[in-house]
Structure 1
Amino acid sequence: MTHFCSFDKGGYLFLPSYVMRTHGVKQQREAVKKVPRKQLEPVFEALDTLGNTKWRVNNKVLSVVDRIWAGGGRLAGLVDRNDVEIPEELESDDEAEKKKWKWKVKSVKKENRERYSLRCDTELKLAVARKMKDEECFYYPHNLDFRGRAYPMHPHLNHLGSDVCRGILEFADGRPLGKSGLHWLKIHLANLYGGGVDKLSNEGRITFVENHLDEIFDSAEQPMEGRRWWLNAEDPFQFLAACMTLTEALKISTPESFISHIPVHQDGSCNGLQHYAALGRDKLGAAAVNLVAGEKPADVYSGIAARVLAIMKIDAQKDPETFSEARHAKILVNQVDRKLVKQTVMTSVYGVTYIGAREQIKRRLKERDAIADDSELFGAACYAAKVTLTALQEMFEGARSIMNWLGDCAKVIASENEPVCWTTPLGLPVVQPYRYQGRHIVKTSLQMLTLKRETDKVMVKRQRTAFPPNFVHSLDGSHMMMTAIACKKAGLSFAGVHDSYWTHACDVDNMNRILREKFVELYETPILENLLESFQESFPSLEFPPLPERGNLDLNEVLESPYFFN
């Protein structure tokens, strides 16, 4: 691995590597190339920090994964290695029954295609893990997407991947747990277990772990032959890896001296909404997403779920003859919980559409086998998506006003047939790539090829709808890179997965202090004022809407909030 020093110099030693994945968008590539190297030094330093983290394969977890996979999958989130049988064709002439059969066949074929894809993906990941299992350490060079979010350049087995990938990987360098590390390892275990345990206070999470030490020891020592308690966790393979580490530590006379390789995560609480609350100095929004201190973590997903349930209970009382969705409301009243709405809430600030929300909720309902009939499932998901988006709009007016302002600015610019451009707080230029595609047909003696190429015409609607989520992504990418640089200077190992920051258990306290300081530092700059000023300088003849009203949140409260990242 080499250090990045320009757009196309750095990353892999023998493969062409670029600091940004521009996907052929010429304007974005040229924008980055034109920027003076000095301006991009913080970005290069952050990428080098992420790329210098040493990794290795956790062979104990890999052996468990291999055993489950050899037995046909199906456990701990691994896909079933067998296909679902296609239902036999009905002999009945009943049209309704035939329609149901067709829906079922279509659903089974889709399921089998998905299983095939997941099997290929798993085989590829495991092949890489087996190849690397005897290596002392290896590295993941990182580069950026066009918004400034960092990703490992290796596409298969990496720490941005699924629970299987994360469970298989660990830091190559180990550090003694110490008293602080033992404390954070227990909290990490509770977080990985999930199921509401991760929403308890830190003391509550530690109590949960200490009350289940027998199950933790059994999981670590007999993962397949024992009671298999670890399979109840939301992230089972990561949970198993942490069980093994805690068990080994507690089995020796001085647990604090145990050398741990486990990355301990600190995750933002609905991080997109945290950024909006900071941008708008929104006190109400800040309290909902833990920007201010509380006795236990505020859970925005449970709050939205409660509001959705309240709306559905009212709708369920209505007459189905005059209100067709009353039937769906009655079916869904017993299905509403934080898990049903979580993905939609998470992606709402990144511009999730009604169709996207419908598919997310449909998947959750399907996982539970809550509604057997596929056409009924579709209708229920449509209704639930509409209600969830309504609840979101009611609860986060401050975030919505900033999203609307960003969208309005983008519309003004895109209406002049110009893409929306801005510079992140770390000096990275961003150009939205959304243009109409032209087609160029090439005829040969064997075939006719259709080549796509960019036209000069920008997609106004796409430029507008994509700008708010892309802008927030550029801010959370900046926060992560600022934290990475500061952690490197403090001597910490660091890995970042967007809004999830990882370090050794013994260093979590230091990382928590740094990431809070960097968040405050980021938002002490007048971000929206600078953005508006850059738009006015680039387009002096255009009129932009005034900045939205903002609250009076004291950002320094973030420094004292224990559950801001937790």
Structure 2
Amino acid sequence: MDVLDSQKQINGICLDLLLQEIVPLSLRVTHLNAEKRQSQDTGKDCQTRIDTPLSKIAGDLPGRIAIFESEHLSQDEVTLRVESYGYATGLRLTEVLIFVDTINDIASEQKRYTVTNYETRIRVNHYLQAVFQGDTAHALQLLGKFKDKCKSNRTHSSFPRNVQIYISCLSTLAAQLSSSSGGSDRDFTAIRRTIDEVASIPEYISSDVDESQLTRIWSQLVIALVRHLDHLPSDDLARRHRIRKLALNLVNEQCISTESLEKLIETDYPQLLRSLNYIWPFTQHKSTEETKINVSPFLNKDGSMSYSGLCDFIGSSRYQYKSDQRPMFEIYDSLEGSDKDEFFKAYLDYNKARQLEVEHYCGSLQESFSSDQNGQNFRTFNSLHGEQMIQWHHQICSALQSLDKSSHKSLSKFEFFFTVYPVEKLVSLVLTRMISLTLATGQVRTITLARSISSSFKWSFFTEPTLRPMLQDLDHYLNDEDAIEFFCGLIKVVVDTCVLKNDDEIRGTKLFSGEKTSRPVFSISYQRFSPDSSPLHRSGIILLDQEIMSYFQSQKEIFHSDSYLLPMLCPPVNWTSPMKGGFLESCAPLVRSPDEKTTFKFMEKANETGQLSSLYRSLSLLGSVPWTINRGMLDVFNHALEQSRGFLSIPPPLSELMVEKVPTPTQNAPGNQDDPKQAMRIFKRLKEQAIQTYNDLRGLRITYELINKSANSYGKNGDIMYLPHNVDFRGRAYPAVSFLSHHNEDLVRSVLMFWEARELGPNGYDWLKYQLANLYSKTSLTMPESIHFVASNMENIIESAQNPFGGSMWWTKGDKPWQCLALCKELLSIESFDGPPSTYKSRIPVHQDGTCNGLQHYAALGADEEAAKSVNLLPSAQRQDVYSAVLELVKKRVHEDSASEDDDLKHLALISKPLLSRKLIKQTVMTTVYGVTLFGASRQIEARVQDVTKHLDNDTFESYSRMQVASYIAKTVLKTITELFSGAKAIQDWLVRNCIRCITSFRSEDLNFQNDVDFFGSKYYRPMMWSSLSGFPVVQPYRHFKKKEIVTPLQKVMIHKKSSLTHINVRKQLNALAPNFIHSLDAIHLQMTCLEANRGGINFAAVHDSFWTHAGDVEILSRAIRSEFVRLHSSHIIQNLKDDLDFTNRDAMQVVWAENQEDPLFIEALQTTRQAYNIDEPKQRGARYFNKCLMHELKDPSQVSALQNSRTL
């Protein structure tokens, strides 16, 4: 029987469907790149399992790999041992979590936290107003109505939602009391009455609430008592004793941990630690003295923070050490022993306070245009533009304050936010975000704008002490859909209010001219999702007036209003859970994913079983590496930004950028007479390309401005920087910062260096030369070649270091010019050093990159010696270059095709011949291993062809387009790689075949509560998932999300509902599996190498398959890279994956088909068995009949399984 083919026509007469237990395929291939050898014993082809270890390097080592507990291995050992990590079945992801249940749980939770009733929403608004106005009596009265609603609807489907409204409101009241209670009798009464309210929660409510929520409420009330006690006079012993007794009773009765209470107070209310110690004298009393840093000079008048203000704060809040004004890293280097340790501890303690302030504001950065600013905010903002923004700000504020919100349903539901959130600050947030997002290209999608404003709005609650009590429950009062409706309402107010009149002028400058009396600053419209999408699939957009766009184009400050995660000033928190680690305030989750809620559920379960321990440790180590700014390169960066025509990859300043003019075709122009419509189409395309190029350059310039601003803020004082890391859904590690990291491009990498300086040692100087030569050269050089290259170019190197913008500017011709210049400066420092080079202390990282790392993994998986040799896995007298090897084979094929009798093939080969180069095919060779399609490869090569031939006469491509040429080259390259790396193709095919079986299978556990299941559709297919060797659960997130239309005052907005059970994207699941699997191996190798480097006592950083350390430690890291790669590939990777798939699908069934005529006796027995199901069988059996039969057999497969077994026998 075969797995159901979706293309096969189902006919009830000739075809029967049944379920069969799924068995993942084993993978066995003929030994790769070797002639088939006849076995001496059997005469059959010698077969080798695909996960045969590299026997020439390591022995056959069974067991899963323990990447966090392996003992240190001697570098001279030939056989590397692998610690057995054999997972207990309980540790498997799918043992503890079912995908369908997960999605349903998320949907149920989202429904629980959604306020759907308009009247309830208004009542919640009134309640919150009462809470934050201190009217506890009225708040409790309204709270009673929420509780009554729970009682009256106990059997209704809305009961969980009503319970959550009641609990969230109660939680907010308790949080407000804990943060604002004073020492008056009125305050004590409010606390006492709230305690009574919580104590009287009926059992039918408390049983429906997570226990942690009630514990949190009780803890907040205890803190409210501590705060009340803190306000009482020290001689009021009677009242203080009464409060102490009440707090002790609450803690004992509710079983609250005093340790967790102390930790909560220490984190959120450190000023209350002394009063806590009065109640519990046995708690560890900690000093309440904190490092206080005054951030107010850098804030806007409305309390918000701009990007410039935040960078200025970082640069101006220097740690003072004995009036020493040297860079911090130089002070650190100059100290010895205990002095060094004391300085570093004090410096990091101070920096932790700075970091907390940075994290409070970095998620909601905005300019303020309140009239109260008095122009001080516009330090670099043209005063004329500033006055215009202030005028708009004033108009919008007036419009909002005079608006009758009760008549605007979408705003009346959220009226509470207008009463507690400063209107001026809210308007600044909306206005600056609208302008900043539309200025780049003249437009922005409405949904993108609304979500951006919402994210910053919610983040800003961190910085508003009066609003912080709402943080825990803010997503309940303003969930994603609510926020879109609310902010679209505010956007509409801005669109309606911001109008330029013909007679408007500032300081004698007219803002626009023309016949119209007025024109809107913003307008709304609809646009197709993409050029390739249907005209019916449109999304709402906000447009910025073109004259206004031109008017503000040079004002870079406005572009910086957004949310940015900057490098940390103190060590990141060690990862201990999916939401605890990295930033101090948990700004970024452990896993970045397009479906964060589902991913988080999986990670929670994996965390409970201990599967993430090794990931936590490696990420914590990656984040613990200290960095600093290379001030010499920063000076060059600053100077390059000042160049009016731009410099290298840096575009000119915004004020100098213009859209390239495209001549309008005229009827009499040559070539236009024959086909004027074609000429106009070309004109429109060229004009669109010019606009796109202009927008791309603007965006790139803005990005460089952002990077430069933050780099200067950290570089001003030579501050230390840390880069907290998290991972994607495959386990690949990334710095969790917005742009200033070593994962960025060449220029950014050049301004970064290690904080710690280390001696070069005997070979470090050679490694710096090796790095410079290979960054400059377009091809890989050996160590002797690199040393010779540097020696022969030493004059150019010194000239580049001393005068980067003068002379021959040799460094600019390098493949990675900015990093080349950083190394030129380093080599100049070494040459000028008084002592021997081995004692010179260097901070410049040296990279060790894999040779097409994906192909290395495939060669190792297949024990393919020829492939392994081509990617430098095996010892060789000369370094191999796989790209050059592929290029030579491609040239040979193209040469053969140029003599073909096929005219098309011949001409394509002749056009392609002069275009072939290593650079042309490199990207395609690299991405082939990740499953690049022919179309994708053609697009890659087309871009290169376009770049190489842009100056050629178009006649060259008159008969064949660039895309046709690129497609021919792409086919040739892919065919060559398939033959050279046949093992990779075999493994990819095996992965895809198993993926089809796994994702299209069904489990009864998934469908327990489903009555009507369509076994022919994909709604209940599961995503491909597996547990990697480190224990990390890899779940492919590709699904077709449901769309929901939200009606807002502005326009209808379409959103994707990720909490609904929807069809998986089968095509993406299949196409992405091979690259995701290899990426997951990349991730494990990186983690293993990181841990081994830590054991070796060296600094370690990485960009996926590029590993970095100090020049003097390269050999140590080199040995670690190789030993860990061998250890990884000695662990039966493919067999372990198959075992994992076996376990994952142990109870899964797949739909198969059987031809009636092949085995009529079996079909007759099957149909007889199904007659006993009492299913109403129509005359013509169809999908409904088969679905009922299959559902019955899924729940009880015993009878059909017995039939299949007897048929097999």
User: Which residue number corresponds to residue 383 of structure 1?
Assistant: 968
Residue deviations 1:100-139 (CA, integer Å, cap 9, x gap): 5454334333322322222222222112212211242110
1:39 deviates by: 2.8
How far apart are the structure 1 equivalents of 2:1049 and 2:915?
59
SS in 1 for 2:647: coil
User: Which residue number corresponds to residue 449 of structure 1?
Assistant: 1053
How far apart are the structure 2 equivalents of 1:495 and 1:382?
38
Judge conservation of contact 1:176–1:259 (CA < 8 Å) in 2.
yes
Residue deviations 1:46-90 (CA, integer Å, cap 9, x gap): 111110111111111122122222114653333455345222112
Judge conservation of contact 2:595–2:1037 (CA < 8 Å) in 1.
no
TM-score of the pair, normalised by structure 1? 0.91
User: Which residue number corresponds to residue 86 of structure 1?
Assistant: 661
How far apart are the structure 1 equivalents of 2:648 and 2:1046?
49
1:37 deviates by: 6.0
User: Which residue number corresponds to residue 188 of structure 1?
Assistant: 771
One of 229, 234, 242 as aligned partner of 2:810: 229
1:222 deviates by: 1.1
Identity %: 34
One of 687, 693, 696 as aligned partner of 1:105: 687
- Answer with 109-118 or 467-476: which moved more: 109-118
How far apart are the structure 2 equivalents of 1:534 and 1:311?
42
- Answer with 87-96 or 511-520: which moved more: 87-96
Judge conservation of contact 1:282–1:398 (CA < 8 Å) in 2.
yes
How far apart are the structure 2 equivalents of 1:244 and 1:463?
48
How far apart are the structure 1 equivalents of 2:763 and 2:1036?
44
The yes-or-no answer on 1:265 pairing with 2:847 is yes
How far apart are the structure 2 equivalents of 1:80 and 1:337?
31
Return the letter of the residue paired with 2:941. I
How far apart are the structure 1 equivalents of 2:758 and 2:737?
26
User: Which residue number corresponds to residue 857 of structure 2?
Assistant: 275
- Answer with 138-147 or 322-331: which moved more: 322-331
One of 1064, 1086, 1096 as aligned partner of 1:458: 1064
User: Which residue number corresponds to residue 554 of structure 1?
Assistant: none
Return the letter of the residue paired with 1:139. Y
Distance 1:357 1:79, change over 3 A: farther
How far apart are the structure 2 equivalents of 1:65 and 1:73?
14
The yes-or-no answer on 1:29 pairing with 2:596 is no
Distance 1:113 1:378, change over 3 A: farther
The yes-or-no answer on 1:499 pairing with 2:1105 is yes
1:328 deviates by: 3.2
Distance 1:85 1:343, change over 3 A: same
One of 147, 154, 158 as aligned partner of 2:737: 154
How far apart are the structure 1 equivalents of 2:737 and 2:1094?
22
How far apart are the structure 2 equivalents of 1:258 and 1:136?
22
The yes-or-no answer on 1:401 pairing with 2:973 is no
1:277 deviates by: 0.7
Distance 1:22 1:221, change over 3 A: same
User: Which residue number corresponds to residue 700 of structure 2?
Assistant: 118
Residue deviations 1:503-558 (CA, integer Å, cap 9, x gap): 000000000011111111111111111111111122136699xxxxxxxxxxxxxx
Larger Rg: 2
Alignment of 1:512-531 (within 5 A): 512-531=1118-1137
How far apart are the structure 2 equivalents of 1:400 and 1:7?
35
How far apart are the structure 2 equivalents of 1:16 and 1:173?
27
SS in 1 for 2:726: strand
How far apart are the structure 2 equivalents of 1:166 and 1:46?
22
Distance 1:149 1:226, change over 3 A: same
How far apart are the structure 1 equivalents of 2:817 and 2:794?
16
- Answer with 82-91 or 286-295: which moved more: 82-91
How far apart are the structure 2 equivalents of 1:74 and 1:351?
37
Distance 1:241 1:346, change over 3 A: same
- Answer with 74-83 or 476-485: which moved more: 74-83
Return the letter of the residue paired with 1:533. D
Distance 1:485 1:66, change over 3 A: same
Judge conservation of contact 1:76–1:237 (CA < 8 Å) in 2.
no
Residue deviations 1:288-343 (CA, integer Å, cap 9, x gap): 10000112211111111122222222333346xx5334333222211101100001
Judge conservation of contact 2:1101–2:1107 (CA < 8 Å) in 1.
yes
Return the letter of the residue paired with 1:150. A
How far apart are the structure 1 equivalents of 2:893 and 2:934?
18
How far apart are the structure 1 equivalents of 2:658 and 2:856?
42
- Answer with 502-511 or 331-340: which moved more: 331-340
User: Which residue number corresponds to residue 557 of structure 1?
Assistant: none
How far apart are the structure 2 equivalents of 1:73 and 1:259?
37
Judge conservation of contact 1:46–1:484 (CA < 8 Å) in 2.
yes
How far apart are the structure 1 equivalents of 2:894 and 2:826?
45
Judge conservation of contact 1:146–1:430 (CA < 8 Å) in 2.
yes
User: Which residue number corresponds to residue 309 of structure 1?
Assistant: 891
How far apart are the structure 1 equivalents of 2:613 and 2:731?
14
- Answer with 414-423 or 452-461: which moved more: 452-461
- Answer with 530-539 or 98-107: which moved more: 98-107
Residue deviations 1:153-198 (CA, integer Å, cap 9, x gap): 00111100000110111111111112211111111111111222x2
Alignment of 1:532-543 (within 5 A): 532-540=1138-1146
Return the letter of the residue paired with 2:662. P
Alignment RMSD = 2.0
1:223 deviates by: 0.9
User: Which residue number corresponds to residue 436 of structure 1?
Assistant: 1040
Judge conservation of contact 2:1025–2:1036 (CA < 8 Å) in 1.
yes
How far apart are the structure 2 equivalents of 1:446 and 1:202?
64
User: Which residue number corresponds to residue 819 of structure 2?
Assistant: 238
User: Which residue number corresponds to residue 751 of structure 2?
Assistant: 168
How far apart are the structure 1 equivalents of 2:599 and 2:681?
49
How far apart are the structure 1 equivalents of 2:645 and 2:1108?
29
User: Which residue number corresponds to residue 51 of structure 1?
Assistant: 623
How far apart are the structure 2 equivalents of 1:77 and 1:536?
51
How far apart are the structure 2 equivalents of 1:405 and 1:240?
46
How far apart are the structure 2 equivalents of 1:122 and 1:155?
12
SS in 1 for 2:611: helix
How far apart are the structure 1 equivalents of 2:1070 and 2:993?
7
Return the letter of the residue paired with 1:89. T
Return the letter of the residue paired with 1:212. N
SS in 1 for 2:811: helix
How far apart are the structure 1 equivalents of 2:807 and 2:711?
25
Alignment of 1:251-400 (within 5 A): 251-253=832-834, 254-318=836-900, 322-369=902-949, 371=952, 373=954, 376-400=961-985
Judge conservation of contact 1:350–1:469 (CA < 8 Å) in 2.
yes
One of 721, 729, 732 as aligned partner of 1:138: 721
User: Which residue number corresponds to residue 643 of structure 2?
Assistant: 71
1:8 deviates by: 0.5
1:285 deviates by: 0.9
- Answer with 463-472 or 82-91: which moved more: 82-91
Distance 1:377 1:225, change over 3 A: same
Residue deviations 1:411-467 (CA, integer Å, cap 9, x gap): 111222111111112111111111111111122343222120233322222111111
How far apart are the structure 1 equivalents of 2:1066 and 2:688?
36
1:259 deviates by: 1.3
TM-score of the pair, normalised by structure 2? 0.43
Distance 1:232 1:18, change over 3 A: same
Residue deviations 1:213-268 (CA, integer Å, cap 9, x gap): 11111111111112211111111111110111111101224222211110000000
Judge conservation of contact 2:869–2:880 (CA < 8 Å) in 1.
yes
Judge conservation of contact 2:579–2:586 (CA < 8 Å) in 1.
no
Kindly tell me the number of residue pairs found equivalent between the two proteins: 540
Return the letter of the residue paired with 1:54. P
Distance 1:73 1:344, change over 3 A: farther
SS in 1 for 2:743: coil
Judge conservation of contact 1:421–1:430 (CA < 8 Å) in 2.
yes
Distance 1:181 1:543, change over 3 A: farther
Judge conservation of contact 1:50–1:495 (CA < 8 Å) in 2.
yes
Judge conservation of contact 1:494–1:503 (CA < 8 Å) in 2.
yes
